[in-house]
Amino acid sequence: MIALLRRDMALTFRMGGGFGLSLAFFLIVVMFVPFGIGAESSTLSIIAPGVLWIGALLACLLSLDRIFQLDFEDGSLDLLATSPLPLEGVVAMKALAHWLTTGLPLTLAAPFFGFLLHLPQGAYLWTFLSLLAGTPALSFLGAFGAAITVGLKRGGLLLSLLVLPLYIPTLIFGAQTVTMIAKGQNNTTAFLILAAISLFTLAIVPFSAAMALRINLR
């Protein structure tokens, strides 16, 4: 399993596009918002948590189709499906590799990008913590969508349409966690729900995605 994780991470860094493209897209979203609504710091500080979360969510979408598609095209996915490794474990490792190469860099970059949106002073830590708790759900739900659309030509748009509704609870409670802190309110409930969503996703998705892969590989 660890060897599979290392392989996927190495392929991501060698091929490029996933890690750098997601960060660049995230930065572009953050930089363009002031041009669209104005540069008033009071306005930007109000919408900053939501913009950061939406930017991270959309940036995650860019590389979801690579989770299984490249392995499907070169036949590696068939070998993995017939290997002694449980397919559920393969899904989990691939989703984890996506998070380590996409979700984690976005999480680390978000507090710095928050400066551009005049994020309230006390919200930087919770921006990091909310993304750290919530982005695993984005990667694992993305793996589920990628498993359903694997093998489809031009399945990227369909993948986005399938996954975006599943992202809504994570987006709501992730942004709410930061917004409540910015307003001086207690955000414990929102953060715990966000963490529960991620834990539930990590527990369920490997099995459902593996079932979808088995159907598509028949």
Task: Give CA–CA dist 7/189, Å, rounded.
Answer: 38
Residue 6: per-residue pLDDT: 77
Q: Which amino acid is at 103?
A: G
Predicted confidence band of residue 143 (pLDDT cuts 50, 70, 90): very high
Domain locations in the chain? 2-217
Q: Is 81 exposed, middle or buried (0-12, 13-18, 19+ CB in 10 A)?
A: middle
pTM: 0.90
* pLDDT tens figures, 145-193: 999 988 777 667 788 888 999 999 999 999 999 999 988 899 999 999 9
Predicted confidence band of residue 142 (pLDDT cuts 50, 70, 90): very high
Give 91-143 as a 3 state SS string: HHHHHHHHHHHHHHHHHHHHHHHHHHHCCCHHHHHHHHHHHHHHHHHHHHHHH
Residue 110 has which token pair?
């978000």
Residue 16: per-residue pLDDT: 57
By residue count, the chain amounts to 218
Residue 155: per-residue pLDDT: 65
* pLDDT tens figures, 97-119: 999 999 999 999 999 999 989 89
* pLDDT tens figures, 7-54: 777 777 666 556 678 889 999 999 998 888 887 888 888 899 999 999
Instruction: Give residue for tokens 């830590």.
Output: 125
